[in-house]
Structure 1
Amino acid sequence: MPRWVRISLRVLSGIFLLIVITYLGLAFYVNTHKEEILASVNKKINENINGKFTAESIEPTFLQGFPRVSLRIKNVTLKDSLWDSHKNTLLEAEDFNISINILAFLRGTLEVKKIDINDAKIHLFIAENGYSNTAIFKPKQEKETTGESSSFAEIKAFNLHNVIFISENLKGKKLFEFSINELKGRLDYNSKGWEAAVNLDASAQSLAFNTVHGSFIKDKTLNGKLDIVYDEKAETIVFEPNDLEIGSDNFNIGGKFSIGKTKSDFSLHIKADNILWKNASNLLSNNISRQLNRFDLEKPIDVNCDIIGDLNAEGDPLFLVKAVVKNNRLHIPDGIIDNCSFNGMYTNELVKGKGFDDPNSVVKLMNFKGAYKEIPFVMDSAIINDFSKPIVSGVFKANFPLEKLNNCVDKDLMAFSKGNANVELHFKADVVDFEITKPFVSGLVKIDNGDMRYVPRNLVFKNTNVALNFTDKDLFISNIRLQSGKSIVNMEGSIQNFLNLYYTEPEKLVLNWKVTSPQLYLGEFLGFLENRKTVKHAPVKTKKGNGNDKLDFLFEKSNVALSVQIDKFYYNKFTATNTKADLLLSDSGITIRNAVVNHAGGQVKLNGSVQQGKTKNHFSIKANVSNVAIEKFFYAFNDFDMESLKSKNLKGYLTTAAAISGAISNEGKLIPKSMDGMVGFTLKNGALLKFEPIKSAGKFAFPFRDLDTITFSNLKGNLDISGEKITIHPMQINSSVLNMDVAGIYSFGKGTNIALDVPLRNPKNDKGITDKEKLEERRNRGIVLHLLASDGDDGKIKIRLVSKKTRNEEVDLKSNKQ
């Protein structure tokens, strides 16, 4: 070994031995002067605080702080001067270790280089009047005035183990509480202040910026590194951006805190590039996360959050949250939105200067895109503001094949098979428990060439066009073209105060329709007469009910007022032209007003109603028939179900006034024995053609008269209808073959009993007489036959000759029985 090496080793060994001997001497001194040192530590610390520092005992710990001397102080307490009033101890530590410069201590200066705190509680407290127990530390100006120097100016390191840290601010209603498993840090001093590098292993019991609303990151673990910079002149502590693990997610967090006597503002910036919605929600206070957990995004999202406030200010700080969602799957209370993308923003300061609270809060969703039950849609913007009474607004746009609605609408309510829908709606709605209620919309919904079926009434519409124009209050419906079978219907309508009544009193809604049709076959719409099929929905969990329920209720309970104009109208054998009517469709049935129908060369005016029932539908009609061809009129109504008298037996022009009630089946057929009412009629230029009951009776009595064609001048009569029987009030018939007086009962079934007085005088003999009195006088000259038309054994009407007395007795007897 070279000589210079040997000399160097000897010198170094000597120096090391000197240090060891010196350290042992110092340690020996400390060990033999523990009470003096403890008293000195107490004195030095108490000289630098506005309060009281106490410790139970002190022991040296050899080698732990080599080459310095480390002191383990047991049961340390640090109380401010007003502790007796608030009882919140700043520091309680079972084990408090400090590493001191013993040479400086021997000179009378306590220089703490390192602090280790174990099994302790640190409680920072601010009272409602703004007083803080951190006032225990004398401000710099006070130290400069008294000439004191800081005992902790040279702290280089600090460790905390099993420490509870609490920052309680009654003035600002804030509470931060952490359980620190391990916290290690080093301090480097410079001309501006100091810098610290800290490693943290802790958990959060409370991070409440407003204790009224609860805690953020409650019961979440915290692991990571913190780089902290203290600027003494600016009186700020800055947390440089660093990665911190909160729970199971990584965040990048930076911040700034003012710690001056007059300043307590702070700002935090938090960034998470890849976090699940549920995880992010569960980091928030319970009152928020409970609502946000109604929703979920399956894939991670990017989130940035800024929190800016004043630690001494009451209420929440400013929150500004931004999120980016791309091609995600959003779960909402009513279903799932696929391919969901949007840029989101939340702040609790919509209008600057109006505070950081719920009424001034807003959520904005920009460029929202997605597909709900395969229906694609976009919203350029959607806004939820005023969280005390939340209101959502935005613009909803969608363009999709109409069949996609089958995924949204109950299959037992509506079914769509063809067509296209185009939607652009501006909406505004209340939000109750994070569910949209009573939306008010304006905009346009267009359906082109749609095929649809209304299932409860089995109504099918083809090539349907619809345009729905929503205003703030009303709904206008235009350009509707419905095709059902051979029927074509064009419609325009409106509903006043639509959205308000839809959610409050749908039964008061009135849909005003203007309906025109080139041709309408009523039989294709008889579904409205059927007993409506009950729509069974799956059980609904939400208290708001199901959208299909509301839509179905609307269809059945709302009222529809129609102004109808039909060029050609068909119903079974009935045909009409230029039909006009006002109809009111309600939950209970149909009301017909001012209906005018051109039929059989004449006109029919009608007012009435149809009341729906389970198996049959009751109707009540007042009709005025003017100058219609009677043969066509009877043909159109299936001869009114008469067995003997048919439309082929009649000719002439009928004018009548009728008030009739009865019942029809769901298939639109007259229910036997259900009619009741009265009819008054006039028949002009009438004729009875090949009517067998007359021919069979007259071929013997009037063998030389033309019984195939019996013409009438003016025939007038009044009839009462009750069930299947028609009461014929006394009626005079003057015809080309014979004259007669008729009265009695005609029955569609059994019970016909009609009295006929027939003068045998040939009416042709009086053809030239125009004087009515003279004509009436000559009418009954000669032989008068008294006939009785009644049911035969074969069910057909038989006419027999009887005496007038017998005939009248039989007619009266049957009338009384009936």
Structure 2
Amino acid sequence: MLFGLIFFALLLSGLLAAVKLGEKHIISLFVQEANQYLATPVQVGRIELSLLDQFPRVSITLHNVTIHGTLPADTAALARVRTLYCAFDTWDVLSGDYRIRALTLGQGKVLVRRNVQGEGNYNVFRTDTAQAQDRPLVFDLKKISLQQVGVVYQDEGLHQRYRLQAHDVQATLAVAEPLIKIAATGTTRVAAIELGADAYLRDKELTLRTQLTVDRKTRLVTLAPSALRIGPADYQVAGTIAYAGATQLNLTVQGKNTNAQSVVALLPARLGRRLGVYRSQGEVYFNGAVRGELSARANPQLTLAFGCRNASFFHPGYKQRVERVFLTGTFSNGAHRNAQTSVLSLQDVRGTLQGRPFSGALHYANFTDPTMRLRLLADMDIGQALRFFPVAAVRAGSGQATLQLQFQGNLRAFKAQSGRGGEAAGQLLLRNVSLRLRDYPQPISRLTGRLQLRGNTVALVGCSAMWGQSDFQVNGALRNFLGWALRPGQALLVDATVASRQLNLNELLAASSQPAAGARVATVAPAEYAALAVPASLALNIRASAQNVLFRRLHAYNLQGTVRLQNKVFSSPGLSIEALGGRASVRGTVDARRPDLIKASTVAACSGMPLDKLFYVFEDFGQQFITHKHLRGLLTASGESDVYFNQRLEPITDRLEAEIKASVHNGELLNFEPVQKLSMVASREQLRHLRFAELTNNFYIQSRTVYLPEMEIRSNVRTASLIRVTGTHTFDQQMDYHVSIPVLPGLLRRVSIGGETNTGPAILLAVQGDEDNFRVSFDRRRTAPAAARPPAKPRTAIEELLARRERVPAPAPASAAVNAEPAARPSVVKPREKKPVAPAPGEYFDF
């Protein structure tokens, strides 16, 4: 043992001495011989002879090597390597026979490139120099190693780019001119294989085991059956590659131990991103062939066969599994080897999802202008289907559905002609389906019915559903459904008859920002109601009826009528509804083209409406001066109005205009404070309960002001049996009323200031101020002699218009037919009465 160590130390010392003594000579020979074969410049930072770098071999070590490419005006280097080892056998060095047996590249980058003309940058060796065996230094490579070397292959003519990172690849060479036999093994990380705009095998670890023979004379590469492992899948590749002219491929590939993940891993990111999370079990097979020319002007013929037998697929995040899946598929790029002649075919597709069967077939031809034949039959549990393949717009679902679908035709023509370029038919049966939508707080439940696809139309047959607390029964059609679904901007016309037992408008108008889970929508404050968001592509022709309608305090019955929508404008030739013991009707339009300025132009009428209930339901119309506690009687009215709303469906009172003709029968005014101040004409007990048989007048609303022309009120108080009232009342609760009470001799309770009327003397009073601070006083300006009155003001333009304006007949009462189209109506203007003048200082009298 000791002698062995001594011998080894002496041998090593002698070898080191020989290397040291012959270092300059060997490096000189290497440089001289390398220059004989290199056709491009090579830059080296430092060259040294080392025994330890590649022990037990002696190596010429080159540091910081840059090898330039051979393309004209090519600024990118072919290779940049931190260390390049050219190794000799030890005995060759001792015998003086210098043969470079191994080449090792460590920590570098190799860029192999072909330009659009097919010229490469890798022709770095001279082709006119033969390797003489009697030279003092000979390149006799037996092994090539790549260690942490990035390799990029770029073909500008084919628009292809391969990016690899060789961790540790070992290749052995056997040279017997003109043949070079290479056997390579190792691990490589594929950054991406980019074909056009798509990137395949992105960030995949690949294990390589290959054998190939290069015939330099015929320029033919023969690839023996070689294995590529990507994850658990093995792909066996064999065939030939001829490169004498344009590249000719004749390769076969066969997959072993493949599954859904390994097949999806081969796809580009845009196709595999959503499918990559799915897992599979069972037999999944894959094989194919690539034959023909690969160049800028031609593609090889590509044929693939794939499928699965008794396989299962599942989504690990949703714990749902598709089982007993059978599939046979083929792909070919066709006779012309391009996208136009490519065909994808899926046959005998069948399987089960949670025990529910599905089946189908697909034939997809011409990827440029595709023609498709599709057949699909599926019995589904909605909840399980959504968990296996989630839909962004739906949070959750349940219920049963059966789908039958058939299609045949050209997809481009089908899309361009809004569903008329092909044959489509099918139906969807829904049974007790529930859906929770992402953008709406109220769930859809009890959805049952049949949707039948007939050409471009979907027929709704016996459909019913609950949306929150509202229920619907629908029969009709979705016209231009395929055009709307396939082409953005196409209109969808919903032509249907809709019936409801209960319509809860509180929920249907609730804001989408309102919490959905556990929320009681009926208790939402009015400020939380959403805007009227209307899709531009939606058109409606709805014949509606509802037994009960809920909106805030309103509980109405027997809604009947037609609602239409076109270009974001709602219209109705007539809607009628029963509420508060009476009946109301309306016709007109709601223009929602500007969400921040929604205009409702209506002609409305009502009959038999109790005043106290009407004021209570509409929350006393936002004022506290005269409320539902003060009023009794039955209202019959008709009117025309232009009402504007903001985004939150709140009225914009500055723009409101209306003309109303109203009549109150058997009216009562209870405990109304301004009337209590007329105690000089009657007792307070009588004035607390003022009754009148009928009151009729026209009202006008404009510029946030209600204008009241003079009207007569015949009451139950003998001393004030006839009262005349006129004036204005603003939305800011500023009152300016003028009251005239005819005087019956001997009936005045106290001395008062009066005036003359056309029927005799009268007491003229003014009620002015706001609802919290008003006063009742003698209207001295009206009682002053004509000579003492201030000169009349000139008439304004609007007063001149009112003086000449002819009255337009009021709309029909609620009992009249409601199906007539709304007539054109004049714009609403102020009444012709002049605005009263406030009393002068010192003319205030409190009764």
User: What TM-score, normalized by structure 2, do the two folds share?
Assistant: 0.52
Residues 336 and 420 (structure 1 numbering): CA distance in 2 closer, same or farther, change over 3 Å?
closer
Identity of aligned residues (%): 13
Q: How does 1:305-384 map to 2 (within 5 A)?
A: 305=288, 319=303, 321-327=305-311, 329=313, 339=323, 341-346=325-330, 348=332, 358-369=339-350, 378-384=358-364
Q: 2:494 aligns with which of 486, 499, 511?
A: 511
Report if aligned partners of 1:403, 1:419 keep a CA contact under 8 Å in 2.
Answer: no
1:405 matched to 2:389: no
In 2, the alpha carbon distance for the partners of 1:425 and 1:675 equals 53
Report if aligned partners of 2:451, 2:460 keep a CA contact under 8 Å in 1.
Answer: yes
Q: 2:772 aligns with which of 776, 795, 807?
A: 795
1:498 matched to 2:481: yes
How many pairs does the alignment contain?
A: 553
* Aligned-pair CA distance for 1:517: 0.9
* Equivalence for 1:42: none
In 2, the alpha carbon distance for the partners of 1:593 and 1:761 equals 52
Cα offsets for 1:68-95 (capped at 9, x unmatched): xxxxxxxxxxxxxxxxxxxxxxxx9999
Q: Secondary structure at the match of 2:680?
A: helix
Residue identity opposite 1:646 in structure 2: T
1:458 matched to 2:438: no
Cα offsets for 1:395-440 (capped at 9, x unmatched): 33240143753675567x54335433333333579899xxxxx999
In 2, the alpha carbon distance for the partners of 1:378 and 1:813 equals 83
Cα offsets for 1:447-493 (capped at 9, x unmatched): 33233344434233332335433344233334332324543222234
Residues 671 and 557 (structure 1 numbering): CA distance in 2 closer, same or farther, change over 3 Å?
closer
* Aligned-pair CA distance for 1:755: 1.0
Report if aligned partners of 2:396, 2:437 keep a CA contact under 8 Å in 1.
Answer: no
Q: Secondary structure at the match of 2:396?
A: strand
* Aligned-pair CA distance for 1:219: 13
* Equivalence for 1:567: 547
* Aligned-pair CA distance for 1:318: 8.3
1:636 matched to 2:614: no
* Equivalence for 2:722: 739
Cα offsets for 1:332-373 (capped at 9, x unmatched): 9xx9986583322325498xxx7776544422223435789x
In 2, the alpha carbon distance for the partners of 1:633 and 1:736 equals 24
Report if aligned partners of 1:321, 1:346 keep a CA contact under 8 Å in 2.
Answer: yes
Q: How does 1:18-37 map to 2 (within 5 A)?
A: none
* Aligned-pair CA distance for 1:787: 1.2
* Equivalence for 1:729: 709
Cα offsets for 1:498-534 (capped at 9, x unmatched): 233334324743434432112223222222xx37689
Residue identity opposite 2:836 in structure 1: D
* Equivalence for 2:836: 812
Residues 472 and 728 (structure 1 numbering): CA distance in 2 closer, same or farther, change over 3 Å?
same
Report if aligned partners of 1:761, 1:780 keep a CA contact under 8 Å in 2.
Answer: no
Q: 2:667 aligns with which of 673, 676, 687?
A: 687
In 2, the alpha carbon distance for the partners of 1:516 and 1:592 equals 17
In 2, the alpha carbon distance for the partners of 1:510 and 1:348 equals 41
Report if aligned partners of 1:449, 1:463 keep a CA contact under 8 Å in 2.
Answer: yes
Report if aligned partners of 1:606, 1:622 keep a CA contact under 8 Å in 2.
Answer: yes
Q: 2:640 aligns with which of 655, 658, 663?
A: 658
Q: 1:782 aligns with which of 751, 756, 760?
A: 760
Q: Secondary structure at the match of 1:700?
A: coil
Report if aligned partners of 1:604, 1:624 keep a CA contact under 8 Å in 2.
Answer: yes
1:525 matched to 2:492: no
* Equivalence for 1:10: none
Q: How does 1:363-762 map to 2 (within 5 A)?
A: 363-369=344-350, 378-396=358-376, 397-402=378-383, 405=386, 413-416=393-396, 418-426=398-406, 442-506=425-489, 508-527=491-510, 530=511, 558-563=537-542, 564-583=544-563, 594-599=574-579, 600-609=581-590, 611=592, 618-631=598-611, 632-647=613-628, 649-663=631-645, 666=648, 673=653, 676-683=656-663, 685-693=665-673, 695-703=675-683, 707=687, 708-713=689-694, 715-723=696-704, 725-735=705-715, 737=717, 738-747=721-730, 749-761=732-744
Residue identity opposite 1:739 in structure 2: L
Residue identity opposite 2:657 in structure 1: G
Q: Secondary structure at the match of 1:405?
A: helix
Residue identity opposite 1:400 in structure 2: D
In 2, the alpha carbon distance for the partners of 1:496 and 1:164 equals 75
In 1, the alpha carbon distance for the partners of 2:665 and 2:181 equals 113
Compare CA radii of gyration and give the structure with the larger one: 1
User: What TM-score, normalized by structure 1, do the two folds share?
Assistant: 0.53
Report if aligned partners of 1:243, 1:250 keep a CA contact under 8 Å in 2.
Answer: no
Residue identity opposite 2:760 in structure 1: G
- Give structure 2 stretches of 5+ with no counterpart: 1-128, 133-140, 143-172, 186-194, 214-222, 240-248, 413-417, 517-532, 748-755, 791-833, 840-847
The structure with the greater share of residues assigned to helix is: 1
Q: Secondary structure at the match of 1:501?
A: helix
In 1, the alpha carbon distance for the partners of 2:554 and 2:263 equals 70
Report if aligned partners of 2:690, 2:715 keep a CA contact under 8 Å in 1.
Answer: no
In 1, the alpha carbon distance for the partners of 2:397 and 2:263 equals 42
* Aligned-pair CA distance for 1:587: 9.6
* Aligned-pair CA distance for 1:754: 0.7
* Aligned-pair CA distance for 1:717: 1.8
Residues 348 and 750 (structure 1 numbering): CA distance in 2 closer, same or farther, change over 3 Å?
closer
